[in-house]
Amino acid sequence: MKIRASILYWHARPALAWTLAVVAFLYFTLSNGHFLNAGNLYALIQLFSTLMLVAAGLAIVMIAAEFDLSIAGTFPLAGLVAVQASDKIGVVPAMLLAVVVGLLVGALNGWITGRFRIPSLAVTVATMVLTIGIGFEITGSQLVTMTDYTASLTLTQRVLGVFSVGSLIQIVIAIAAYLFLRSSWRGRFVYAVGSDAARARASGLPVTATLVFAFMVCAGFASVAGALQGVSLATGQAGSNDSFLLQCATAALIGGVALTGGRGSLTGVFGGAFLLTVLTNGLGLAGVNSALILLVNGIVLAAVVLVDRPLNRFIDRRLRAEMPIGQPPTQTSSEPAPTH
Amino acid sequence: MMTVTKAADPARRPKRPVTVTGTTVIAVATVLVGIVASLTVDSFATAANMRGLFLSVSIIGIIAVGLSLITIVGKVFTLAIPALVALSTITFASTLYLGPWIALLITVAGAAAIGLIQGLVIGKLETDPIITTIAAAAILIGIGQLWTNGRTVVGTGEATLFNSSLFGAIPFQTLAFALVAAALFWWHKYTVSGRKLTLVGLNEKAALISGLRSWPMVTLAFVVSGATTGLGGALLSAQSGQGTLTLGASFGFDAIVAVVVGGVAITGGIGTPLGAAVGAIFVGLLENVLALVGLNYETQLVIKGVLVLAAVTLMGVTGRAGRSR
C-alpha cells in the first residue's frame, strides 16, 4: 500500500509538468493581451508540435537508459535532404527520403550501442559529427532553397484557426507514440531494457533489437520534424541545432523521464514541451531577446537536473524502506554510472 | 601504478596492454601519415605548412588534454567547451588593455571558476554530466550574448607576444601545448592525486570502499578542463585580438574527437592526457593532409565523424570494460 504512494509520485510528475505549463500559460494570458491571439496560438502550436514530437523520441531513448545527442545533427539534416531533393524527385518522396536517412542513422546508433555495448553518448557524438558533416556535404555549405513554394504553403496552411497540416501530422504521430509505448509489447520492452538491461536480457527479451528500435524511433521522429520544418520554411542551412537538443532534453526531464532509465511517461514529456514552448513564446512576445530566452532555458534545465536526483533518491529510499526484506530493489540507484 | 589497478580490480589488469596499444597505434599512424605525406605531398613538408599545422593543432590540443581528465574520471565529456571558449575569447579581448599576461590570467581563472561550478554540481550533487553541461553551455552563451549584445569585442592592447615564434619555428602556442600536455601527463601518471583520479574513473565503488570520495577528483578534473579551455580561448583570441561568440564553435567536437581517437576510454579510467595530445596531433595532421590533397571542409567533417565512430567501436570491441548490460 505504501508502494502505491511512490507509484503515485511517478504519476504525479506528468501532472506537475502540466500544472506548471498551465500556470505559465495563464500568466502570459493575463500579462499580455496578444498572447491568446489566434496568430500567436498558431505560432505556439507550430513550435510545440515540433518539440513535442522530437522530445517524445528522445524520451523513448532515455527510458531505454540511453541518450541520443545526434538529433542535433539529424534534425537539420532531414530538413536539408527534404529541401535539396524536392526539386528533383518531388516533395513527398523527398520527405520520405529524409525520414529514411534519419532511420538509418538511428539504426546505426542503436546497433552499435546495443551490439557492442558501447555508451550511447560516445556513439551519438560520432553520428552527430557525421550527420552535420553530411549536411554540409550535400549543401556545399550554401544556403539551399526550394523553388516551388506550394508544398510550404500547404503545410503551413491554417486548419481550425490554430493548427496547420504540419503540426497536426506531428501531434498525431506523437500521440500514437504515447499509445504505443504505453500499451504495446515493444513499448513495455523499452521500459524493461531501461530499468535493468541485464535482467531483461536474462529473461529473454530482445535487448539489442529494442535499443535499435528506440534509436530508430528517436531519429525517425527528429527527421520527420526536421523534414516538415525544412519544407515549411522552404530553406535550410547546414549546421548543428544545439539549442533544440537542449529543449528536447529539458522537456523530457521536466516530464519526469529519469536519466537512469525505465521511468517516465510521454504525457509528462508533452507537458514539459508545452511548458517550454509557452515560456519561449511568451517571453519572445514580451520582447525579451533570444539570448535571455536561451539563458532561461538553460537555467530551467539546470534547476530540473539539480532537483531531480535528490528527489528521486528520496522517493527510492522511501520505497526501499517500505519493501519487505528479500525482495529486489526496484532501481539501481547505487549504480555509479548515471549516464548509462 | 599497477598496484593501484590491481587493488581495484584484478580482472581488469589484462586489458591494460590493449589500451596502451590503442594510443600507440595512433602514435604510429601519426608518424606514418607524416612520413607518407612528406614524401608524396609536395607542399606538406614546407616551413609555412608546418607552422600552420602546429598552430591548428596547438589550441585544440590544449583543450583536448584538459578534457581527457573529465573522460578519465568517468564523466564522459563536457558539451560546454564551445561556449566556454567563446566566453574566454570575449574575456581576453575585454581585459587585454591590462596587458596580455594579466588578461591571460583573468581568462584562465574565470574559466577555471566556471569549471569549478560545473564540477561541484556534477561531483557533489551527482547530476548527469552531459545534461548539466548542455545547461551550462546555454547559460554561458546567454551570458555572453547579454554581455556583448552579440557584437565582436575588439581588444585594445598588444597580444603579439602570444603569436610570436620561438627560435623562428616553434609558435608560442605550440610551446604552451607541449608544456600543458607534459605537465598533465606527469601529474596524471606520477602523483597520488593523478592516480586517485584514474581509480575513481576506473571503479568508483572500489574507490569509495578504499576511502576515496569521488567528488573532489571530479571537481578537480572539471577545474583543470575549465582552465585549459580558458587558455585555449585566450590564445585563440590573441591571434586576432578579438573576442566573439562564434569563435571556437568547432572546438567542442575537435577536442572530443582528439580524446576518443587518442585512446581514452569513454567508460573512464583508461587512457592518458598524452593520448589525447597524440589524438589531437593525429586529427590535425590528417586534416592538414586532406586539405592539401584537395578535400574540402565538408568532407573532412564527414571523415572526422567516421573516425570517431570507428575509434569508439574499436575501443568497445577490444577493450571491453566488462560493463553489465
Across chain A, mean pLDDT equals 84
Residue with cell 531513448: A61
The verdict on A203 touching B (C-beta cutoff 8 Å) is: no
Of A127, A198, A306, the CB nearest to B127: A306
Q: Give the pLDDT score at A331.
A: 47
The verdict on B142 touching A (C-beta cutoff 8 Å) is: yes
Of B143, B214, B305, the CB nearest to A133: B305
Q: What is the ipTM of this complex?
A: 0.78
Q: Nearest CA to CA, how far is A138 from chain B (Å)?
A: 9
Q: Are B286 and B265 in contact (CB under 8 A)?
A: no
Does the pTM exceed 0.80? Answer: yes
Q: Give the pLDDT score at B319.
A: 57
Residue with cell 539534416: A77
Contacts of B134 by beta carbon, 8 Å cutoff, 6+ apart: A242, A245, A246, A249, A301, B79, B80
pLDDT at B248 over 80: no
pLDDT at B160 over 80: no
Query: How many residue pairs from chains A and B have C-beta atoms closer than 8 A?
Result: 170
Q: Give the pLDDT score at B105.
A: 94
Of A134, A296, A337, the CB nearest to B302: A134
The verdict on A104 touching B (C-beta cutoff 8 Å) is: no
- Give pLDDT tens digits for A171-183: 999 999 999 998 8
| Cα(B34)–Cα(A19) distance, integer angstroms | 61
- Give pLDDT tens digits for B8-53: 455 555 544 444 456 777 788 888 888 888 888 777 878 788 888 8
Mean pLDDT value of segment A59-82: 92
pLDDT at B318 over 70: no
Mean pLDDT value of segment B234-245: 86
Contacts of B252 by beta carbon, 8 Å cutoff, 6+ apart: B79, B81, B82, B85
| Cα(B41)–Cα(A299) distance, integer angstroms | 50
Across chain B, mean pLDDT equals 83
Please identify among residues 67-106 of chain B the ones whose CB lies closer than 8 Å to any CB of chain A.
74, 76-77, 79
Contact B145 A132 (CB under 8 A): no
Amino acid at the residue B6 = K
The verdict on A205 touching B (C-beta cutoff 8 Å) is: no
pLDDT at A339 over 60: no
pLDDT at A336 over 70: no
Name every chain B residue with its beta carbon within 8 A of the beta carbon of A306.
121, 125, 127
Hey, which of A284-298, B100-114, B229-243 has the most confident mean pLDDT?
A: B100-114
Nearest-5° angle of CA B265, CA A336, CA A62? 85
Closest C-alpha among A132, A339, A141, A135 to residue A242: A132
B170 phi and psi angles, rounded to 5 deg: -95, 115
Contact A338 B121 (CB under 8 A): no
Contact A292 B317 (CB under 8 A): no
Q: Which residues pair with B59 in a beta bridge?
A: none
Q: Give the pLDDT score at A235.
A: 83
Q: What is the grid cell recorded at B220?
A: 578537480
B242 phi and psi angles, rounded to 5 deg: -125, 160
Share of chain B above pLDDT 90, in %: 32
Q: Give the pLDDT score at A55.
A: 95
Closest C-alpha among B49, B46, B24, B85 to residue B236: B85
Name the residue with higher pLDDT: B44 or A327.
B44
Looking at residue A281, the DSSP 8-state letter turns out to be H
Task: Give the pLDDT band of residue B111 (cuts 50, 70, 90).
Answer: very high
Task: Give the pLDDT band of residue A5 (cuts 50, 70, 90).
Answer: low
- Give pLDDT tens digits for A100-112: 999 999 999 999 9
Q: Give the pLDDT score at A328.
A: 52
pLDDT at A318 over 80: no
Task: Give the pLDDT band of residue A228 (cuts 50, 70, 90).
Answer: very high
Of A131, A259, A336, the CB nearest to B204: A336
